[in-house]
Structure 1
């Protein structure tokens, strides 16, 4: 006898451990205990007999030919019931082998052990015979997951078809292809770590390295490093020295044996450069029009001595460029001030000729006015984030030039001779200008460093 109820003297609303160990009194009401019952039903083939007496005195019994429950690891599940005999008018429904009665649910299969491909229903309606934990559906039957072709015993899991699993210490990688398990040795690079990220265990390259975890290569620090590795123009992932965040992509342009990192580009009016402080700090745009971001530019210009190159195409289609022997900006603490700009060399024309007037100036945007001009907001008037100057803000001009903006009914002024972040095909004072009144409404700009 494993259970008796005849008077209600013993409370059967008990905890897991009490049902596991057993409770009550053998002479009256009791539960023998799931652990004892598990050992009993697994040492030999057992039958189960249930005797019931109703409140009107009527009694009946039901006998099941086979009876077995799992152990504690399987949560003592009722998994084997066998054929039934009874003198009752209505029989208790019996479930097939390896199934138990319960709420219908979506079940795993060998091909889809995680239930990612829709619901594989194990029964109809709200209740019925279902597969217990540790079992999967195969047709209309339930089989132990260990019988699946892609079962990995060490990890006690079934790998879905077409997927891969790596073991706990990243020394073996197993794949399930066409319901066939393929396992191979797996080793992390010395520059990688075995880890679980986004629920996926594998080898991951350390910070400053890129690769699949088995092979990790040191990330480029800038486009000159890309050029030194004998690569051409393109988009590459870099990791500047001391950069505190994740690696990021940059456009690299190669001129001779020099690799230049593009931080600004203008080709059309698709992207507005009248952006706020945060946008200029983080960067914005696309492959045609972009600002890399002042924070990235700060780290790039402070890891090594840096040169600046400015390429423009004027309104009449003439291509010009200038290089500057030195270029550096400071951190956000000093508003990304342009603290270094060397002499202009290798010029073709006068591109960027007056950039020296922007040296020593902090960066300004319409929502962070750092130009020290009390008369107006230079970034707002020029419609651009830039190293604007207050040198001319107290001057009132009456005549018109392409780099002048109107700030009162009778006065015009300007904050920069070079406004390479201005409005594409914009009006006076807002347009992209370089070497003012000669290169107005510039049609192409590219600023880059090396």
Structure 2
């Protein structure tokens, strides 16, 4: 008889793999299944909240994973940046936003910004509700990495990051800024509510999301427009992927990634 060896993390996963392999249709497989079920019922199912949970369970390779920020009924795909193998404290990052090639339209309405859009393998927005649920369950730090079209790269880091509930407008909270060269533009958005073209919660007399073609924590209107129009470098004032303290308002970045990590993980810049 041919046996397939499965390297899994939980007994429930073993049962699933035994079933899908067709092993249960043999007498030996049926006996194994009967032995595993009572133990598996009493064993906790591994539902990772974020990429830190995955890393701590032995998943050390960067890539797309499924996490459960709101529990078993809310699976969501996410890209995990697990860092370098020779630098174990450089990883465990859960990517909540990524722009890199302009393939995904980020000028979207409230419902899509609430639930998320795009593909975790490419450009995407994790969703305000998912980000809120993550930061409700744990304390997080934020790292933002940026790249221009000339090959320049920079980053900023905040030691605390959270997003409030929808009833409070998904308000952004940041503190503990460390400058990796990008400057503190994002700090200007601390305490602001999120706005889209169909839900204006900014402090401006006009709709900043409509003016600057994005969805963001706008105020009067922005110093950062990470979800603005992808414009391949030079852009009309304020409508591109702007980071004012690094490239100003008339330069749209090539790439930007926002990623968070549980605060009990070591910081590696």
Is the structural similarity TM-score above 0.5? yes
Tell me the residue number matched to 1:362. 193
Give the superposition deviation at 1:278: 0.6
Distance (Å, rounded) in 2 between the aligned partners of 1:289 and 1:359: 24
Cα pair 1:281 1:293 within 8 Å, conserved? yes
Tell me the residue number matched to 1:348. 180
Distance (Å, rounded) in 1 between the aligned partners of 2:102 and 2:130: 24
Distance (Å, rounded) in 1 between the aligned partners of 2:40 and 2:218: 44
Unaligned 5+ segments in structure 2 are 1-18, 262-269
Tell me the residue number matched to 2:152. 318
> In the alignment, is residue 268 of structure 1 matched against residue 97 of structure 2?
no
Cα pair 1:422 1:431 within 8 Å, conserved? yes
Name which of 14, 38, 55 aligns with 1:227.
55
Tell me the residue number matched to 1:296. 130
- Could you say what secondary structure the match of 1:299 adopts? helix
Cα pair 2:182 2:245 within 8 Å, conserved? no
Distance (Å, rounded) in 1 between the aligned partners of 2:161 and 2:107: 24
Aligned 1:162-177 pairs, distance under 5 A: 173-174=24-25
Name which of 383, 398, 420 aligns with 2:213.
383
> In the alignment, is residue 421 of structure 1 matched against residue 227 of structure 2?
yes
TM-score by length of 2: 0.76
Tell me the residue number matched to 1:103. none
Write the deviation string for residues 278-311 of structure 1: whole angstroms up to 9, x where unpaired. 1111110122210011110001111111000000
- Could you say what secondary structure the match of 1:433 adopts? coil
Cα pair 1:243 1:299 within 8 Å, conserved? no
Question: CA, structure 1 residues 182+343, in 2 after alignment: closer, same or farther (shift >3 Å)?
Answer: closer
Aligned 1:98-117 pairs, distance under 5 A: none
> In the alignment, is residue 307 of structure 1 matched against residue 141 of structure 2?
yes
Give the superposition deviation at 1:427: 2.7
Tell me the residue number matched to 1:10. none
> In the alignment, is residue 435 of structure 1 matched against residue 244 of structure 2?
yes
Question: CA, structure 1 residues 174+337, in 2 after alignment: closer, same or farther (shift >3 Å)?
Answer: same
Write the deviation string for residues 365-413 of structure 1: whole angstroms up to 9, x where unpaired. 0000111322x110111111100003xxxxxxxxxxxxxxxxxxxxxxx
Distance (Å, rounded) in 2 between the aligned partners of 1:272 and 1:371: 21
Tell me the residue number matched to 1:398. none
Distance (Å, rounded) in 1 between the aligned partners of 2:244 and 2:204: 22
Question: CA, structure 1 residues 304+182, in 2 after alignment: closer, same or farther (shift >3 Å)?
Answer: closer
Question: CA, structure 1 residues 296+190, in 2 after alignment: closer, same or farther (shift >3 Å)?
Answer: farther
When you count helix as a share of all residues, which structure comes out higher? 2
When you count strand as a share of all residues, which structure comes out higher? 1
Bigger RCO of structures 1 and 2 (CA < 8 A, at least 6 apart): 2
Write the deviation string for residues 152-201 of structure 1: whole angstroms up to 9, x where unpaired. xxxxxxxxxxx98x9xxxxx9436xxxxx9862223264549xxxxxxxx
Write the deviation string for residues 94-120 of structure 1: whole angstroms up to 9, x where unpaired. xxxxxxxxxxxxxxxxxxxxxxxxxxx
Distance (Å, rounded) in 1 between the aligned partners of 2:29 and 2:78: 38
Distance (Å, rounded) in 1 between the aligned partners of 2:230 and 2:97: 14
Cα pair 2:203 2:218 within 8 Å, conserved? no
Distance (Å, rounded) in 2 between the aligned partners of 1:419 and 1:192: 48
Unaligned 5+ segments in structure 1 are 1-162, 167-171, 176-180, 194-205, 210-217, 391-414
